Amino acid sequence: MYTSKIIGLGRYVPENVVTNDDLAKRMDTNDAWIQERTGIKERRHIKKGDGNSTSVMAVKAAKIALERAELDAKDIDMIVFATLSPDMYFPGGGVEVQEMMNMRTIPALDVRNQCSGFVYAISVADQFIKTGMYKNVLVIGSENHSGGLDFTTRGRSVSVIFGDGAGAAVVSRSADETSGILSTHLHSEGKHKDELSLQGPSTEYWVPEIIADDPQENIPYYPYMNGQFVFKHAVVRFAEVIHEGLAANNLQASDIDMLIPHQANLRISQFIQKKLGLSDDQVFNNIQKYGNTTAASIPIALTEAWEAGKIKKGDLVVLAAFGSGFTWGSAIIRW
């Protein structure tokens, strides 16, 4: 068995800052409600004409990760791309990255596990490296949420939460057995699939029918979230899957140097922090600046924490996510 290790990280967010007050001009909401319920102060949105898309942002983050890994795009053996907001319905964004980065005809796998997407993608990369099949895997999470949200009052409970951005990690084979990805733990519970979902356009709500039926209010083409239901499950599953990962490695919560939770809601992160008995220094949050960027949230946060010098060699870093599906997972990493 080989060891796999994150050797390069990158992030990209669009320049366009959208504050809570900006949103209050478009719908019946306010800064106090958004901050109190979610912790979010502002988020980034792609601006029409700025050249960004889910795959373009992915490439920008990936180039930084590659440079820091001191690798060339030609060295990458596989792309694993997590997103719920691809540029096209099909093919997925992985092949766009392969083309834009002028890579070899390597496999490009698209992961559709929403907020858990990056943890799932890291797990996939880890398995391909540990079996010896590939040496360097590019793992990306990227989202263009602003292109598909309802910015009227009808959609306010969802649209104030989500933001755009991308993060990337180069996961590589390593000879050092004392560090790297120790284990990953993944779960799903499909009976709750409707609680956080986007139903159309799809084969169930297919485009011609949508056009024929027309009455706009009946078309489920904006995301739906049963917020309180999701919240209640999130706090349980986050703690569970972190404990599962720690136990598998004979570790305890007090051993964690840095927990990077998926940035779903600051209240969820604070709840988990308390449940695990962690100090402020042991948990990284940046939802205040970017909102919830779904598959991109963990790689953006991980990159920022690393850039700020909060992650050092030998540290125990834990990634954990929960979201639509429901799906959830954790990754236990010795840096």
Which of 105, 228 has the CB closer to ligand UT7? Answer: 228
Q: How far is residue 81 from each of residues 55, 103, 143, measured CA to CA in Å? A: 9, 14, 11
Do residues 284 and 259 lie in contact, with contact meaning Cβ atoms separated by under 8 Å?
yes
Asked if 234 is part of the footprint of ligand UT7 (rule: CB under 6 A), the reply reads: yes
Q: Give 139-171 as a 3 state SS string.
A: EEEEECCHHHCCCCHHHHHHHCCECCEEEEEEE
The interface region with ligand UT7, picked from 34-42, 45-53, 63-71, 300-308 by CB under 6 A, is 34-42
Shortest separation between residue 29's beta carbon and ligand UT7, angstroms: 3
Which of 52, 294 has the CB closer to ligand UT7? Answer: 294
Q: Is 115 a catalytic residue?
A: yes
Q: Tell which positions 152-171 bind ligand UT7, by CB under 6 A.
A: 156-157, 160
Which of 11, 156 has the CB closer to ligand UT7? Answer: 156
What does the alpha-carbon distance between residue 270 and residue 278 come to, in Å, rounded to a whole number?
9
Asked if 33 is part of the footprint of ligand UT7 (rule: CB under 6 A), the reply reads: yes
The interface region with ligand UT7, picked from 63-71, 100-108, 229-237, 281-289 by CB under 6 A, is 229-237
Residue at token pair 């980065």: 101
Q: Which residues pair with 9 in a beta bridge?
A: 169
Which of 134, 290 has the CB closer to ligand UT7? Answer: 290
Length of the chain: 335
What does the alpha-carbon distance between residue 105 and residue 103 come to, in Å, rounded to a whole number?
6
Catalytic residue among 20, 115, 136, 185: 115
Shortest separation between residue 115's beta carbon and ligand UT7, angstroms: 4
Which of 182, 283 has the CB closer to ligand UT7? Answer: 283
Among 228, 250, 279, 280, binds ligand UT7 (CB under 6 A): 228
Do residues 312 and 334 lie in contact, with contact meaning Cβ atoms separated by under 8 Å?
no
Q: How far is residue 34 from each of residues 141, 224, 226, measured CA to CA in Å? A: 25, 18, 17
Asked if 32 is part of the footprint of ligand UT7 (rule: CB under 6 A), the reply reads: no
DSSP state of 202: S
Catalytic residue among 145, 262, 265, 286: 262
The number of residues that bind ligand UT7 (CB under 6 A) is 19
β-strands 258-261, 316-323 pairing: parallel
Q: Tell which positions 267-326 bind ligand UT7, by CB under 6 A.
A: 268, 292, 323
Q: How far is residue 319 from each of residues 45, 213, 256, measured CA to CA in Å? A: 25, 43, 11
Q: Is 45 a catalytic residue?
A: no
Query: In the complex, which residues of this chain contact ligand UT7 (CB under 6 A)?
Result: 29, 33-34, 37-38, 115, 156-157, 160, 227-228, 230-231, 234, 264-265, 268, 292, 323
Active site residues: 115, 262, 292
